[in-house]
Chains A and B, each alone.
Chain A
Amino acid sequence: MSIRRFALAALAGALISGPVAAAQTLLNVSYDPTRELYVDYNAAFNKHWQAQGHEPVTIQQSHGGSGKQARAVIDGLRADVVTLALAGDIDELHRMGKLIPEDWQTRLPDASTPYTSTIVFLVRKGNPKDIKDWDDLVKPGVEVITPNPKTSGGARWNFLAAWAWAQQQYGSEEKAKEYVAQLYKQVPVLDTGARGSTITFVNNKIGDVLLAWENEAFLALKEEGGDELEIVAPSLSILAEPPVAVVDRNVERKGTRELAEAYLNYLYSEEGQRIAAKHFYRPRNQSVAAEFAQQFPELKLVTIDDDFGGWKQAQPKFFNDGGVFDQIYEAR
């Protein structure tokens, strides 16, 4: 059969069978480090969904920088659900695209964040520069690897964690600004995303300490076998909350609301929580958290809402053009 005839037949087949026997599909648009998590979770959810007496579903996942993913959805990517790195990016789905209501974050428990993470330090085996806490990062000769907060969601959590520590330590915003200015002076490379920084630190062996998502740090450790790297938990960090949301406009068009809501709700079930914990995300469910307590170092955590007034205030103050991050570079 010629290719053209084959294509025509396939097209005709799709037209005829498409609407009738279409298994429901669900598109989950997520950020970079959740790739492995959602591969596992999608399989588990499909089992659960079928156990409820539904047809099996095809779940597609898309990963990339959190901001880029949000823009793709705003610009027309038909995501049923978004699971992004920070609430600020999902807020834009409302502000720019009117795809979801403004109060989206109140629709699911725990501010729509089924799992959390935090920011930790990844250092070379044996911790040769003796890095224990945030003040060690600005010691002479220490090179810090972190992505650019202008282009990376993870990097914004890094920046805010450093800021929160410095403000508690030194007691004022000016001192905190001096601290982060010094910190970023010791950053030799600003990659555009968290994975880029991990490559720079782990593969290209640049720098003494990588500021990383806890889950990303554990993953790097797992992949290289624990011979070259170790994790250091600072005295204080930030509760990184990557939230999830159903994209109302898209599920209404596609008729997938029930499925999409079940998909996100199941993240809060014990099974969902356990999968998240296995992939080094901190579960919200107390009993699952207790099961995995060994895995996660205990540390003091500030939150974006209590300590920074939410992303609506933090984003323009720190990261938009002319914000604190720009100021510390312009002051040079």
Chain B
Amino acid sequence: MSRPSPVIPGFGLTLGYTLVYLSLLVLIPLGALFIKSTELTWEQFVAIVSAPRVLAALKLSFGAALAAALLNGVIGTLLAWVLVRYRFPGRKVIEAMIDLPFALPTAVAGIALTALYAPNGPIGQFATELGFKIAYSPLGIALALTFVTLPFVVRTLQPVLADIPREVEEAATCLGARPWQIARHVLLPALLPAWLTGFALAFARGVGEYGSVIFIAGNMPGKTEILPLLIMVKLDQYDYAGATAIGVLMLVVSFVLLLVINLLQRRIARG
């Protein structure tokens, strides 16, 4: 092997370290999850994951996470754009605020959002007047997830946006491109891979979110129950195997979806 020596030496050492690290943190816990779920027979497993309540919660969890990720995909792009391309007073403050949803304990976020958006809360009462509910409905769940996953798209887009020099846009303008053409043919291709990463992160985070959602969801069986809550319900019956079955279901669905996003990204990268 006559590869040029890399900056950080010791391929064996670093790879070994990576593998140990990943095993301890990810592989072993997830492996244990799968092993525990094998205490169930295949029929039992299928019966648990195809129960109507589980399917309803599955749709809700993934649906709300998707909605939140899409919303953040749009608003987050806007935020990143504003923060990178414009200088205005208070920019630093907004910049710092973006990360707050990560720092705040999710339960605190959940309680605060619920108080605001409850049917007679300061904001929720307007929704009540218009005849719909925010807290204690799927809308509230999506709202909490949007809050919790806000930083992902913004933070993945910012460095990429900053790397696109303004000259590129100016050159395109000089060559006669209209603004929408610049957006479509110049900016979008450069941003899309990072955008997809941010989207996927927000989505994955949203699917597993528990702390903020249980306060705002209302947790009505079959209507506003999220999958992680069903896992807690099983655990409170000391049904460890049943809980792992739902865990495995979530893991498999998430893995497939993330894989699809990844493949999409690679196709885009290849052009």
Whether chains A and B associate is yes
- Chain A residues with CB under 8 Å of chain B are 65, 67-68, 71, 92, 95-96, 148, 150-151, 188-192, 196, 199-200, 203-206, 315, 319-321, 326, 329-330, 332
Chain A residues within 8 Å of B163, by CB = none
Q: How far is the CB of A210 from chain B (nearest CB, A)?
A: 15
Is B218 a contact of A321 with CB atoms below 8 Å?
Answer: no
Known A192-B219, A199-B111, A321-B242: A206·B233 in contact at CB below 8 Å? no
Chain A residues within 8 Å of B229, by CB = 151, 192
Cα(A183)–Cα(B114), bound, Å: 24
Is A189 a contact of B237 with CB atoms below 8 Å?
Answer: no
5 interchain residue pairs of minimum CB distance: A67-B236, A329-B221, A190-B219, A150-B233, A189-B218
Chain B residues within 8 Å of A326, by CB = 221
Tell me which of A67, A92, A95, A188 contacts B218 (CB under 8 A). A188
Is A191 a contact of B232 with CB atoms below 8 Å?
Answer: no
Is B238 a contact of A206 with CB atoms below 8 Å?
Answer: no
Cα(A90)–Cα(B169), bound, Å: 68
Q: How far is the CB of B15 from chain A (nearest CB, A)?
A: 28
Residue B120 interfacial (CB < 8 Å): yes
Residue B214 interfacial (CB < 8 Å): yes
Cα(A205)–Cα(B128), bound, Å: 14
Is A206 a contact of B235 with CB atoms below 8 Å?
Answer: no
Chain B residues within 8 Å of A321, by CB = 234, 237, 239, 242
Is B222 a contact of A320 with CB atoms below 8 Å?
Answer: no
- Chain B residues with CB under 8 Å of chain A are 52, 111, 114-115, 118-121, 136, 214-215, 218-222, 229, 232-239, 242
Chain A residues within 8 Å of B234, by CB = 321
Cα(A54)–Cα(B183), bound, Å: 77
In chain A, what residue has the closest Cβ to B52?
Answer: A330
Q: How far is the CB of A206 from chain B (nearest CB, A)?
A: 6
Is B238 a contact of A150 with CB atoms below 8 Å?
Answer: no
In chain A, what residue has the closest Cβ to B48?
Answer: A321
Chain A residues within 8 Å of B220, by CB = 189-190
Cα(A204)–Cα(B114), bound, Å: 8
In chain A, what residue has the closest Cβ to B118?
Answer: A204
Cα(A200)–Cα(B114), bound, Å: 9
Is A192 a contact of B136 with CB atoms below 8 Å?
Answer: no
In chain B, what residue has the closest Cβ to A148?
Answer: B219
Is A190 a contact of B215 with CB atoms below 8 Å?
Answer: no
Most buried by A among B114, B234, B235, B236: B236
Is A150 a contact of B237 with CB atoms below 8 Å?
Answer: yes
Is A319 a contact of B115 with CB atoms below 8 Å?
Answer: no
Tell me which of B118, B215, B232, B242 contacts A151 (CB under 8 A). B232
Q: How far is the CB of A193 from chain B (nearest CB, A)?
A: 9
Cα(A255)–Cα(B214), bound, Å: 40
In chain B, what residue has the closest Cβ to A187?
Answer: B220
Is A191 a contact of B219 with CB atoms below 8 Å?
Answer: yes
Cα(A319)–Cα(B233), bound, Å: 10
Cα(A190)–Cα(B224), bound, Å: 10
Is A206 a contact of B115 with CB atoms below 8 Å?
Answer: no
Q: How far is the CB of A152 from chain B (nearest CB, A)?
A: 8
Tell me which of A95, A204, A315, A332 contacts B121 (CB under 8 A). A204
Known A191-B215, A206-B119: A68·B236 in contact at CB below 8 Å? yes
Q: Mind listing 6 A-B residue pairs with CB under 8 Å?
A: A96-B238, A189-B220, A192-B219, A192-B229, A315-B237, A329-B221
Chain B residues within 8 Å of A67, by CB = 235-236, 238
Is A203 a contact of B232 with CB atoms below 8 Å?
Answer: no
Tell me which of A188, A319, A320 contacts B136 (CB under 8 A). A188
Is B115 a contact of A189 with CB atoms below 8 Å?
Answer: no
Further 12 A-B residue pairs, CB within 8 A, beyond A204-B114, A205-B118: A65-B236, A67-B238, A190-B218, A190-B220, A191-B219, A192-B214, A199-B111, A205-B120, A320-B237, A329-B222, A330-B52, A330-B222
Is B115 a contact of A204 with CB atoms below 8 Å?
Answer: yes
Q: How far is the CB of A34 from chain B (nearest CB, A)?
A: 19
Q: How far is the CB of A216 from chain B (nearest CB, A)?
A: 18
Chain B residues within 8 Å of A319, by CB = 237
In chain A, what residue has the closest Cβ to B133?
Answer: A188
Chain B residues within 8 Å of A330, by CB = 52, 222
Chain A residues within 8 Å of B219, by CB = 148, 189-192
Is B215 a contact of A196 with CB atoms below 8 Å?
Answer: yes
Known A189-B136, A204-B114, A206-B120: A71·B218 in contact at CB below 8 Å? no
Is B238 a contact of A92 with CB atoms below 8 Å?
Answer: yes
Chain B residues within 8 Å of A92, by CB = 238
Chain A residues within 8 Å of B115, by CB = 203-204
Q: How far is the CB of A180 from chain B (nearest CB, A)?
A: 14
